[in-house]
Amino acid sequence: MNARAVTVSEEYLARLEHGADWREEIEEFCARKDIESAWFNAMGAVQDAELWFYDQTDQEYQSVTFDEPLEVAACVGNVALLDGEPFAHTHAILSRRSGQALAGHLDSATVFAGELNLRAFEEPLERDHDAVTDLDLWL
């Protein structure tokens, strides 16, 4: 395990803007506040979504698009620098009207309503390429 201690510098509660992109809202907020590393939780609803699933054999993301209103039952992620910019690594559990759950890496989604709790860290974290997984991982 690769680990390091971090210190929480600030904690924010925020409402995501209706009609904005869910992940971009988080990244733009971090850029405005000069946040280079953070952990966040969120909930709400989206008008549509694109989820990614990482195929561990092919080492490629598979995309699935949902063009329908969905509840964001849970959303968790972290922020680290990727190519010098804040990147919000975002996972979500979304639910359909029927209660069917959809989950994965949230690439994009149009916000209907969203509430965010974000803890910023003093220590900057950067994503680097991991040769074993072919992913850009933090620490």
Among all chains, which residue has been given the structure tokens 């979500």? 92
Residue found by looking up tokens 């969905």 in the block: 70
| Structural domains for the chain | 9-121 (3.30.1330.80)
Q: Report which secondary-structure segment, H or E, holds 84.
A: none
- Is residue 139 predicted with pLDDT exceeding 90? no
Task: State residue 2's pLDDT score.
Answer: 85
> pLDDT band at 138, cuts 50/70/90?
confident
pLDDT tens digits, 86-116: 999 999 999 999 999 999 999 999 999 999 9
Average pLDDT, rounded, for the chain: 96
Cα 132 to Cα 56, 58, 79, 128: the distances in Å are 10, 12, 22, 12
Task: Output DSSP code: residue 139.
Answer: -
> Identity (one letter) of the amino acid at 71?
E
**pLDDT at residue number 85:** 94
As a residue count, the chain comes to: 139
CA dist., res. 17 & res. 115, Å (int)? 9
Please write the tens of the pLDDT for every residue from 41-88: 999 999 999 999 999 999 999 999 999 999 999 999 999 999 999 999
Tell how many helices (H) and how many strands (E) occur in the chain.
1, 8
For Cα atoms 72, 105, 81, give the angle at the middle one, nearest 5 degrees.
Answer: 110
CB 112 within 8 A of CB 18: yes
